[in-house]
Amino acid sequence: MLCAIPARWITHFSVCLYEWQTLIVGLAALLVGAGTVLQVRRQIKQADKIAESSRRANLAVARAKLPNATAAAAVYAKQCVVALDTIAPAIRTRAQTADAVVIPFLASDIQDVFDKLLVTTTDESALFSVSAIYTEQQVFESRLSDIHIAPAEHKCALPYYYLQPVIIHSFAMKLLEYGRRETDYVPTVQWGDLRNSAVSILRTSKACDEIIALIDDKAARDIKMPFAISVSA
């Protein structure tokens, strides 16, 4: 029987209902499915909103703690210079051996702040700045670990060793500007920033003169800054 609408539905409701049950079930399932999709979308949007709110809150915390962390990172850079100063005379005189260098360390509380910034910020310059500090730190400490074994072999590279804590200090100062809310993003490090940091943290006139000369020469020739991490990273 063909259940015409509305006549046969009125006179033969149960029969028509039986004949149309598959279509009715299908339409009901479609409606339920559409409702489920809408509900899932609402839940996803709500979850995204909560996640973004949490990210912003964590970023605010990390940014608020940056001034202390970057100040401590600047102190770490100065400690790196002190460590180099202890071995520099043996390197300059091409000594065959020397006493092991006491390697400074980047305190865990500094790293905690930097790590929180890494996982919450969307600022590419901030990501690069923290990554650059970590990379310079790792390379510098690796060099210092065995530099006493054959100091003479490091004479030509010594200015670049001094340049590493200068780079760390420069990035720390840029992060400090961001932490103090002097800028809405982390500024990039330029040769002039390295020069300022060199003047600020280098303790001996010989090291300072060498590094300033190195910086001025490369800046004048517009040479890429020798970061331990790729600028394109």
- Give domain status of residue 118, yes or no: yes
The predicted pLDDT at position 233 comes to: 43
Q: What angle do CA 116, 141, 203 make, to 5 degrees?
A: 100
Tokens of 144: 């210092």
Where does the pLDDT of residue 31 fall: very low under 50, low under 70, confident under 90, or very high at 90 and above?
A: confident
- Give domain status of residue 50, yes or no: no
Residue 121 has pLDDT above 80, yes or no: yes
Round to whole Å and give the CA distance between 18 and 8: 13
- Give domain status of residue 52, yes or no: no
Structure-model confidence comparison of residues 133 and 42, the more confident one? 133
- Give domain status of residue 33, yes or no: no
Residue 191 has pLDDT above 50, yes or no: yes
For residue range 168-190, list pLDDT tens digits in order. 999 999 999 999 999 999 999 99
Domains in the chain, number:
1
Round to whole Å and give the CA distance between 137 and 104: 10
Tokens of 111: 């790293």
Say if CB 177 and CB 129 are below 8 A apart: no
Where does the pLDDT of residue 21 fall: very low under 50, low under 70, confident under 90, or very high at 90 and above?
A: low
- Give domain status of residue 213, yes or no: yes
Q: What is the dihedral sign for C-alpha 7, 13, 18, 23?
A: positive
Round to whole Å and give the CA distance between 38 and 33: 9
- To the question of pTM greater than 0.85 for the whole model, the response is no
Q: How many CA atoms lie within 13 A of 112 on its CB side?
A: 7
Round to whole Å and give the CA distance between 52 and 177: 24
Round to whole Å and give the CA distance between 206 and 131: 30
Cis peptide bond upstream of 187, omega within 30? no
Q: What angle do CA 9, 10, 12 make, to 5 degrees?
A: 65
Question: Which residues form the domain of 193?
Answer: 64-220
- Give domain status of residue 147, yes or no: yes
Contacts of 3 (CB under 8 A, 6+ apart): 9, 12, 15, 16, 19, 20
The predicted pLDDT at position 29 comes to: 74
